[in-house]
Amino acid sequence: MKAICVFCGSSMGANPAYQLAAQRLGETLAKKGLTLVYGGGNVGLMGVVADATLAAGGQAIGVIPKFLVDKELAHQNLTTLHMVDSMHDRKALMASLSDGFIALPGGYGTLEEFCEVLTWAQLGLHQKPHGLLNIEGYYDALLTFFNHAVAEKLVRPVHRSLVLESSNPQSLLSLMETYKPQSVAKWITQNTES
């Protein structure tokens, strides 16, 4: 892995632990020589992870749609800042620049971005690892939902295993570094028991 895409909130959230986790993740990326790829803003958890990466001597690449430059206050001190035309272009470029994906706490956008690249992996479009940085149980309900979807036979266990999780940035990155994707030859069948 050379670059990790981090999805996270453009606000800080209510729990100071989220900000601390973003800072630690940025520092850990830099120490491991991993480039940060993220949404390009300088506010909220987005700004914290970028600033921490840069302060620790790392590289940070931002990707932001032109219409969000003012709303998310585009970070002006990044290694590289790509301004794109749309959210679709943003997600495609972030994915192509990255070797893995991490979601810090965030809202609808974070969840949508993480689930989109997760779906791409389910469809076999890539084999990159996905990790939830589950700070103080932030993603517990989402993980419960994923497990429920498996129990209800709407998600296969092999696809549930695409989501790695940890409450510690170092541990999550270690899981991602040793991740071995499982190949599924056929994931859609007429058999409802599959």
pLDDT at residue 191 greater than cutoff 70: no
Position 185 scores a pLDDT of 56
**From CA 153, how far away is CA 89, in angstroms rounded?**
33
pLDDT at residue 62 greater than cutoff 90: yes
The residue ranges of every structural domain in the chain are 3-177
**From CA 94, how far away is CA 91, in angstroms rounded?**
5
- Domain 3-177, classified CATH 3.40.50.450, yes or no: yes
What tokens does 159 get? 């696809």
Residue 139 vs residues 4, 72, 144: alpha-carbon distances, Å: 19, 24, 9
Q: 3-class SS at 4?
A: strand
Concatenating the DSSP letter of every residue in 151-181 gives: HTTSS-HHHHTTEEEESSHHHHHHHHHT--P
Q: Characterize the bridge pairing of strands 35-38 and 130-133.
A: unpaired
Tell me the per-residue pLDDT of 122-174, one tens digit each, with 9 for 90 and over: 999 999 999 999 999 999 999 999 999 999 999 999 999 999 999 999 999 99
**From CA 154, how far away is CA 148, in angstroms rounded?**
9
Tell me the per-residue pLDDT of 71-80, one tens digit each, with 9 for 90 and over: 768 999 999 9
CB 61 within 8 A of CB 35: yes
